[in-house]
């Protein structure tokens, strides 16, 4: 499948940057722990994650969240592929369709005199339960009992997602070959990805040849993934300090970047704007936060 670059609107970029990406000064954006976890979600779960964030932050854009939810529900009952006149929408709904077009929920079409929006299958599936297996895409991954992975795909994105928790050995035009190793999993765990998320991804994206097999990923593989995670998650006592009550999200994100730069980040809660840092950098953190108030 073809890969292409998409230019998101500023409002949609903020949704991604809020919890999935972090950026310091002029450096390129980096994935957060939530960002790595987001990549392993199935398509419906990813869409609903973005929709929830979009609704949650609607008031910052001067939009009533109840009106937005109502519009999204109405959209889910439209006919897929049918053109609807944009003039039938309110101002906020017309603005919302531009963001929804970025997500692939609608297509916008400009005629000579009128403008139209065309709901896609993703939009009309919004009201379908996430557990509905009929909406899932065809799988592409085969995991063997010796931990080798064969992914029948031409997608660069699929290759990079697999690289999050496996060692990619080589890539052919229609096949990606790799292996799940202790080192590759430790790297995934350090990025905030859990064993259950990896196992769920492999099961949900199992190739049709093995998807009907129960289990689709053999127990010796899933048990070993969980075992390596438990080995890494042994309790370790570290003196620490909790930082909260940040005056703004910008200050919170700057403090997170500061803690990471000093190697003192232990835990962060992006939604509640709280973080825990090692005691050894607490003095530096206080001085940094004091400088942010000036």
Contacts of 192 (CB under 8 A, 6+ apart): 32, 33, 34, 36, 37
Residue that wins the pLDDT comparison between 237 and 177: 177
Position 4 scores a pLDDT of 45
Q: State the Cα–Cα distance between residues 109 and 115, nearest whole angstrom.
A: 6
* pLDDT interval class at 127 (50, 70, 90): low
Please compute the mean of the pLDDT values over residues 269-274 and round it to a whole number. 90
Alpha carbons 23 and 17: distance in angstroms, whole number: 8
Model pTM score: 0.63
Cα dihedral sign, 277-283-286-291: negative
The pLDDT mean for the chain works out to 87
Half-sphere exposure of 163 (CA within 13 A, CB side): 11
Task: Give DSSP secondary structure letters for 119-139.
Answer: E-HHHHTTTS-TT-GGGPPPP
Q: Is the pLDDT of residue 179 over 80?
A: yes
What's the CA angle centered on 22, arms 18 and 24, to 5 degrees? 130
Q: What's the confidence (pLDDT) of residue 33?
A: 84
Q: What is the pLDDT of residues 9-64, one digit of tens each?
A: 777 777 777 778 877 777 777 888 888 999 998 888 888 889 988 888 888 888 88
Give me the sign of the Cα torsion angle 83, 46, 248, 66.
positive
R_g (Cα) of the chain, nearest Å: 22
For residues 265-290, give the mean pLDDT. Answer: 92
Alpha-carbon distance 73 to 124, whole Å?
9
Q: Which two tokens stand for residue 5?
A: 């670059």
Q: What are the strands of the beta sheet with 106-110, ordered from one edge?
A: 84-85, 115-119, 106-110
Bridge partners, residue 149, by sequence: 143, 178
Please name the residues in contact with 69: beta carbons below 8 A apart, sequence gap of 6 or more.
55
* Fold (topology level) of 10-124: Arc Repressor Mutant, subunit A (1.10.10)
Residue with the bigger pLDDT between 128 and 79: it is 79
Give the integer Cα–Cα distance in Å for 293 and 261: 20
For the residues 61-83, what does the mean pLDDT come to? 89
Whole-angstrom distance, CA of residue 86 vs CA of residue 6: 23
Q: Tell me the mean pLDDT in the region 64-77.
A: 90
- 9 or 119: which leads in pLDDT: 119
31-45, 54-68, 133-147, 194-208: least confidently modelled range? 133-147
What are the tokens at 174?
């229609």
Q: Which CATH architecture has domain 240-293?
A: 2-Layer Sandwich (3.30)
Percent of the chain whose pLDDT exceeds 70:
93
The residue ranges of every structural domain in the chain are 10-124, 137-232, 240-293
**pLDDT value at residue 137:** 59
Indicate if 240-293 has the same CATH topology as 10-124: no
């Amino acid at each position: 499948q073809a890969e292409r670059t998409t230019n998101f609107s500023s409002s949609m970029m903020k949704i991604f940057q809020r919890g999935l990406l972090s950026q310091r000064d002029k450096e390129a954006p980096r994935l957060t722990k939530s960002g790595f976890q987001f990549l392993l979600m199935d398509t419906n779960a990813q869409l609903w994650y973005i929709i929830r964030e979009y609704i949650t932050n609607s008031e910052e854009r001067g939009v009533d969240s109840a009106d937005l939810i109502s519009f999204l529900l109405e959209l889910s009952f439209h006919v897929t592929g049918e053109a609807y006149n944009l003039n039938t929408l309110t101002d906020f709904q017309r603005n919302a369709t531009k963001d929804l077009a970025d997500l692939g929920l609608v297509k916008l079409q400009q005629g000579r005199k009128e403008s139209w929006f065309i709901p896609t299958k993703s939009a009309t599936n919004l009201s379908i339960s996430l557990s509905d297996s009929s909406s899932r895409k065809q799988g592409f991954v085969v995991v063997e009992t010796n931990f080798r992975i064969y992914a029948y795909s031409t997608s660069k994105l699929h290759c990079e997602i697999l690289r999050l928790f496996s060692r990619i050995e080589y890539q052919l035009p229609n096949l990606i070959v790799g292996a799940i190793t202790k080192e590759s999993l430790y790297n995934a765990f350090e990025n905030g990805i859990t064993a259950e998320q990896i196992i769920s991804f492999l099961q949900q994206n199992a190739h049709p040849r093995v998807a009907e097999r129960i289990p689709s990923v053999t127990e010796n593989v899933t048990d070993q993934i969980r075992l390596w995670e438990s080995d890494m998650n042994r309790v370790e006592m570290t003196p620490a300090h909790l930082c909260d009550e940040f005056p703004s999200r910008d200050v919170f994100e700057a403090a997170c970047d500061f803690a990471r730069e000093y190697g003192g980040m232990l835990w962060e809660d992006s939604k509640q704007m709280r973080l825990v840092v090692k005691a050894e950098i607490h003095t530096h953190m206080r001085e940094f936060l004091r400088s942010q108030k000036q």
